[in-house]
Amino acid sequence: MNESHKNVEVEKSELPVREPLFRRYQIKIKAGVRAGAVPTARPPLGF
């Protein structure tokens, strides 16, 4: 049982890693800024 489990793990690690297309367009932005929200330097509230 343990042996066969081990074999499965080995096979998994040998799978080629494929990346989805969006990773080509992905960038990193500053911590704490939500994607889709407004930028860190944004107009103030109250107007």
Partner 1 sequence: MSRVLLCVRGGASELPAVAGALRERGAEPVVFDPSAFPSGAALTLAYDRGGFHGRWADRFVELGEVSAIWQGVVVGTALPAMQPGVRETCVSASELAVVGLLDSLQVFQLDPFWTKMRADNKPHQLRIAQRAGLVVPETIVSNDPAAVRAFAWRCGPVIAKMLVQPASTGPADDDAPVVFTTAMTAADLEQLDGLDLCPMIFQERIENQRDVRVTVVGKRLFSVALDAVARGGDDVDWRRQSYALDRVPAWTRYELPTVVAGGVVRLVDHFGLNYAAVDLIVRPDGGHVFLELNASGSFGFER
**Residue 1 binds partner 1, judged by CB under 8 A:** no
Under rule CB under 8 A, residue 46 binds partner 1: yes
| Near partner 1 in 15-44, by CB under 8 A | 18-44
The pair phi, psi for residue 16, each rounded to 5°, is -65, 140
Give phi and psi for 40, each to the nearest 5: -65, -40
Identify whether the C-beta of residue 24 lies closer than 8 Å to the C-beta of residue 18: no
Regarding 7 and contact with partner 1 (CB under 8 A), the answer is no
Give the footprint of partner 1 on this chain (CB under 8 A).
Answer: 18-47
